[in-house]
């Protein structure tokens, strides 16, 4: 007999709104208690499935779910763990089947990016080959916005808003300081292979000459002379220069700027950070005083500045995942389909996991201005709707957001322990 419990898991780097997807999925499932069983959540993604560390979400109240939807991080824990192919790794697949059977799981939801879509696809194929009646649905999230098929990825819009607002704010600061102090400000943003987040920084520049005056994309090889000329030009025209640099910015030979060989006092190679490399270059070649910031996890956990549009997307894919389950679908992902830019309108569509897994969508060249340092109107038309609207968390009387950090109830293990 097919189980009718649901198992939800989070995977890969988390986003400001992945918990909004989780909350919407749990709420949607509760609305169909006639057909669906309990919603369990794996602790730490697929690892928690393998290790049978499963949380019973039934103990979360409706109020908890409202708070969960406004909490950053991945409340159930995530993991970076990619299942190998079935032939190389039969042991782990057999274990997954045992865990699904032991807890009457009929529906598995994996909330992640393209690696997770690959994992979900493999599990879906495995279930079929083992005649396990399991429906396997991937649910999209990634701040990198690099998933194929979907118009955009839940999580990206909020990071985009945070970066657009932050570079505008920091630029107002450097504008005030430039007469006697800092002339160049550099903000490093995430996006190792795709410059979507860097592109979002360009939204802050509404008129020609507005900051950021320079964006460095992974998609455009870094040319030192052109870059330094652009910095000098901006300082001459505007008195200062504001720069957004992607962590994935690279030289024309493919090496990352961040790997330019900084070493500490002991000769150890220094941990990442492209912003200080760019600051060193500017300082040594132009003499301009620089300030630099690396937002790192701040950008992808800044739930305090989430985009309302992004939150709506994140909830919609969670709800659609349950609808897909009820419709008997498997091996699919709910995706966002754009119907029009202006007014922005969208709907939920479905994609086959085989069309999503292991693909990567980078910023198209016609979204980047001819000089390589800015975004085009086409990019703006695509990006701007994604940062619209504010969706604030509630704050307590202590001035801090009321984020949920629950003490979970774990299911009692029904199987022997398993070593991953």
Please tell me whether 144 is known to bind a ligand.
Answer: yes
**In a 3-state reduction of DSSP, which class is residue 188?**
strand
C-alpha span between 402 and 20 (Å, rounded) = 14
Position 125 contacts a second copy (CB under 8 A): no
Position 285 contacts a second copy (CB under 8 A): no
Q: Where are the beta strands (DSSP E) in 205-287?
A: 214-216, 241-246
C-alpha span between 330 and 317 (Å, rounded) = 15
Closer residue to a second copy (CB): 37 or 401: 401
Question: Do 55 and 43 meet the contact criterion of CB atoms below 8 Å apart?
Answer: yes
Position 410 contacts a second copy (CB under 8 A): no
Please tell me whether 192 is known to bind a ligand.
Answer: yes
Tally helices (H) and strands (E) across the chain: 12, 11
Position 284 contacts a second copy (CB under 8 A): yes
HSE-up of residue 236 (Cα within 13 Å, Cβ side): 7
Sole window of 111-119, 134-142, 303-311, 331-339 interacting with a second copy (rule: CB under 8 A): 303-311
Please tell me whether 201 is known to bind a ligand.
Answer: no
In 252-285, which positions are buried (b, 16+ CB within 10 angstroms) versus exposed (e)?
A: eeeebbbeeeeeeeeeeeeeebbbbbbbebbeee
C-alpha span between 122 and 114 (Å, rounded) = 12
Question: Do 149 and 361 meet the contact criterion of CB atoms below 8 Å apart?
Answer: no
Position 389 contacts a second copy (CB under 8 A): yes
Position 337 contacts a second copy (CB under 8 A): no
Binds a second copy by CB under 8 A, chosen from 75, 142, 145, 362: 75
Position 336 contacts a second copy (CB under 8 A): no
Binds a second copy by CB under 8 A, chosen from 86, 97, 102, 177: 177
Please tell me whether 300 is known to bind a ligand.
Answer: yes
Please tell me whether 64 is known to bind a ligand.
Answer: no
Closer residue to a second copy (CB): 313 or 320: 313
Position 297 contacts a second copy (CB under 8 A): yes
Please tell me whether 114 is known to bind a ligand.
Answer: yes
Position 276 contacts a second copy (CB under 8 A): yes
226 flagged as catalytic:
no
HSE-up of residue 38 (Cα within 13 Å, Cβ side): 13
Length of the chain, in residues: 420
Question: Do 213 and 242 meet the contact criterion of CB atoms below 8 Å apart?
Answer: yes
H-helix or E-strand spanning residue 340: strand 332-340
Sole window of 57-65, 79-87, 117-125, 368-376 interacting with a second copy (rule: CB under 8 A): 79-87
Binds a second copy by CB under 8 A, chosen from 22, 187, 258, 356: 187
Hey, what are 212's tokens? 């950021």
Q: How far is CA 198 from CA 38, 125, 215, in A?
A: 41, 37, 7
Q: Which of 159, 198, 205, 204 is nearest to 310 (CA)?
A: 159
Please tell me whether 237 is known to bind a ligand.
Answer: no
C-alpha span between 276 and 262 (Å, rounded) = 9
Minimum CB separation of residue 143 from a second copy in Å reads 11
Please, which of residues 191-230 interact with a second copy by CB under 8 A?
Answer: 203-204, 206
C-alpha span between 152 and 319 (Å, rounded) = 17
Minimum CB separation of residue 313 from a second copy in Å reads 14
Hey, what are 155's tokens? 């999580």
Sole window of 11-19, 21-29, 54-62, 332-340 interacting with a second copy (rule: CB under 8 A): 11-19
Is the backbone of residue 313 left (phi > 0), alpha (psi -120 to 50) or beta?
Answer: alpha
Position 176 contacts a second copy (CB under 8 A): yes
Closer residue to a second copy (CB): 79 or 194: 79
| Site residue total, a second copy (CB under 8 A) | 88
Looking at 44, 144, 151, 310, which residue is catalytic?
144
Minimum CB separation of residue 160 from a second copy in Å reads 9
C-alpha span between 319 and 246 (Å, rounded) = 33
Position 376 contacts a second copy (CB under 8 A): no
Question: What residue has token string 């493919």?
Answer: 254
Position 264 contacts a second copy (CB under 8 A): yes
Position 253 contacts a second copy (CB under 8 A): no
Closer residue to a second copy (CB): 281 or 320: 281
Binds a second copy by CB under 8 A, chosen from 25, 60, 67, 79: 79
Please, which of residues 306-325 interact with a second copy by CB under 8 A?
Answer: 307, 309
- Strand 5-10 with 39-42, pairing: parallel
Q: Which residues are annotated as a binding site for substrate?
A: 142-144, 190-192, 247, 297-300
Catalytic residues: 144
Binding residues: 13, 114, 142-144, 190-192, 247, 297-300
């Amino acid at each position: 007999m097919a189980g009718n419990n649901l198992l939800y898991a989070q995977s890969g780097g988390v986003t400001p709104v992945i918990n909004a997807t989780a909350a919407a999925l749990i709420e949607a499932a509760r609305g169909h208690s006639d057909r669906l069983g309990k919603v369990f959540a794996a602790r730490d993604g697929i690892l928690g499935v393998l290790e049978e560390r499963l949380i019973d979400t039934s103990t979360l109240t409706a109020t908890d779910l409202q708070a969960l939807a406004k909490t950053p991080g991945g409340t159930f824990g995530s993991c970076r763990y990619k299942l190998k192919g079935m032939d190389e790794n039969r042991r782990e697949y057999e274990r997954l089947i045992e865990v699904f059977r032991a807890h009457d799981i009929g529906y598995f939801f994996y909330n992640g990016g393209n690696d997770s879509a690959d994992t979900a696809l493999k599990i879906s194929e495995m279930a079929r080959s083992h005649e396990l009646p399991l429906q396997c649905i991937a649910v999209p999230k990634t701040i990198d916005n690099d998933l194929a098929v979907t118009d955009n990825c839940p999580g990206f819009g909020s990071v985009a808003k945070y970066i657009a607002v932050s570079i505008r704010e920091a630029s107002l600061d450097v504008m005030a300081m430039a007469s006697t102090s800092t002339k160049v400000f550099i903000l490093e943003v995430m996006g190792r292979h795709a410059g979507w987040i860097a592109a979002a920084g360009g939204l802050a520049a509404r008129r020609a000459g507005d900051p950021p005056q320079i964006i460095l994309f992974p998609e455009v090889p870094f040319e030192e002379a052109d870059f330094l000329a652009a910095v000098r030009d901006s300082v001459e025209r505007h008195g200062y220069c504001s720069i957004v640099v992607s962590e994935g910015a690279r030289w024309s030979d493919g090496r990352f700027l961040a790997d330019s060989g900084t070493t500490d006092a002991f000769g150890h190679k220094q941990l990442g950070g492209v912003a200080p490399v760019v600051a060193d270059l500017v300082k040594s070649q132009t003499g301009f005083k620089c300030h630099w910031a690396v937002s790192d996890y701040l950008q992808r956990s800044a739930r305090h500045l989430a985009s309302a549009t992004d939150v709506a997307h994140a909830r919609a894919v969670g709800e659609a995942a349950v609808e897909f389950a009820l419709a008997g679908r498997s091996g699919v992902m709910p995706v966002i389909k754009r119907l029009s830019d202006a007014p922005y309108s969208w709907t939920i569509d479905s994609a086959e996991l085989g069309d999503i897994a292991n693909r990567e969508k980078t910023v198209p060249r016609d979204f980047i201005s001819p000089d390589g340092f800015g975004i085009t109107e086409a990019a703006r038309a695509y990006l701007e709707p994604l940062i619209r609207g504010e969706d604030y968390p509630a704050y307590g009387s202590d001035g801090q957001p009321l984020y949920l950090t629950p003490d979970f109830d774990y299911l009692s293990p029904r199987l022997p322990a398993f070593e991953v």
